[in-house]
Amino acid sequence: MSSSVLEPPIHRARKAVIPVAGLGTRLLPASKAIPKEMITVVDRPAIQYVVEEAAEAGLSDVLLVTNRGKGAISDHFDSVPDLESALEASGKDALLASVRASSGLAHIHEVRQGEAKGLGHAVNQARDHVGGEPFAVLLGDDFNDPRDPLLDTMLDVQAERGGSVVALLEVEPETISLYGAAVVEEAPEAGRGADVVRVLSAVEKPPVQEAPSNLAIIGRYVLHPAVFDVLDRTEPGKGGEIQLTDALMELATMSTQEGGGVHGVVFRGRRYDTGAKLDYLKAIVQLGADRDDLGVEFMAWLREFVQTYEEPSERLRSGFAD
Ligand code: G1P
């Protein structure tokens, strides 16, 4: 067989970067003394679902961009020899497996962000670890259902087309100001159950009236390493922070030879947001209902609860509005 008919090897990104240095004010007071990423969702911390999502997409090297007070996150992915031998000695095999599951997911590395200068600044801390390869970025506030693999598609799109890839979600127009908004070329191409579009530009958290679209950039990216040089010259933007969205805007205008070009994968699957209180409650109910060990009993109780629940004459506990 002549070499001309051989397909060039497709190299998918192998490393994931997960910024976890943020303060987590939306989950206060729960996140006062523990990182927001360690808040329990059913029976494991929210960050474990995100690392599971990375591992399922074949990203076995995970770099956490951390900060002071975030040590519990790295501890969670470490092994605990004393606890493991105690569980082993007492024959608690299921618990032992659950403890080992998080430490066996991926090779976890850590770098400190030091100063809170924005998402773009956090991602730029990964330069030395990532080197010259494309890499994924997963934000910790939400995670996607393993039955609707988004990251897998994004990694394929990046390997086949080069440049960078962002995940896009059609949101209610009045909520677009919470996100980076993408300007995309019209006709979406159908591919692997998801639409792949060319991103022409992006704006970080535009006012609703000025938003160029209702396509929100959600927290999954596969980035070309050219992003690091772009981030080095990205001036502080929205909120005085170095914005990843601003770097993407520049990448979208650069040529393929320079590592430019941005594609968007429009996500239409199930997504759980744990970064805000109401969404967090919904995520627990949805994930609890799907569990093979809890779902049947939990749903029976929930149906009964909803049918018989009476509005209280006064609310028992006051909340803290965002
Ligand atoms: C960040 C990004 C924003 C993106 C969002 C997705 O904002 O800056 O472009 O749409 O994540 O969750 P944050 O939510 O950290 O303020």
**141-165 per-position pLDDT tens digit:** 888 888 888 999 999 999 999 999 9
> Ligand 1: does its nearest atom lie under 6 Å from the Cβ of 204?
yes
- Stretch (H or E) spanning 17: strand 15-19
Model's pTM, two decimal places?
0.91
User: Which has the closest alpha carbon to 21: 123, 168, 136?
Assistant: 123
Q: What is the pLDDT of residue 39?
A: 93
Question: From CA 255, how far away is CA 48, in angstroms rounded?
Answer: 37
The helix/strand/coil state of 71 is helix
- Going by alpha carbons, the residue nearest to atom 15 of ligand 1 is 119
Radius of gyration for the alpha carbons in the chain, expressed in angstroms and rounded: 21
Q: Which atom of ligand 1 is nearest to the CA of 244?
A: 8
User: Which has the closest alpha carbon to 27: 16, 41, 17?
Assistant: 41
Residue 234 CA neighbour count, 13 Å, CB half = 29
Ligand 1 centroid vs 178 CA: distance in angstroms? 7
Four-residue CA torsion sign, 52, 57, 60, 64: negative
- pLDDT bucket at 9, cuts 50 / 70 / 90: low
pLDDT over threshold 70, residue 173: yes
The helix/strand/coil state of 225 is coil
- Going by alpha carbons, the residue nearest to atom 10 of ligand 1 is 179
- Name which residue leads in pLDDT, 120 or 145: 120
Mutation test residue for ligand 1: of 123, 139, 244, 271, the one with most atoms within 8 Å of CB: 139
- Stretch (H or E) spanning 103: helix 93-103
pLDDT over threshold 80, residue 189: no
- Residues 185-204 have a mean pLDDT of 74
pLDDT tens string 94-115: 999 999 999 999 999 999 999 9
- pLDDT bucket at 192, cuts 50 / 70 / 90: very low
- Residues 305-309 have a mean pLDDT of 94
Q: What is the pLDDT of residue 199?
A: 96
User: Which has the closest alpha carbon to 321: 18, 29, 3?
Assistant: 29
Q: What is the pLDDT of residue 6?
A: 59
pLDDT tens string 45-88: 999 999 999 999 999 999 999 999 899 999 999 999 999 999 99
- Going by alpha carbons, the residue nearest to atom 5 of ligand 1 is 179
Q: What is the pLDDT of residue 194?
A: 52
pLDDT over threshold 80, residue 193: no
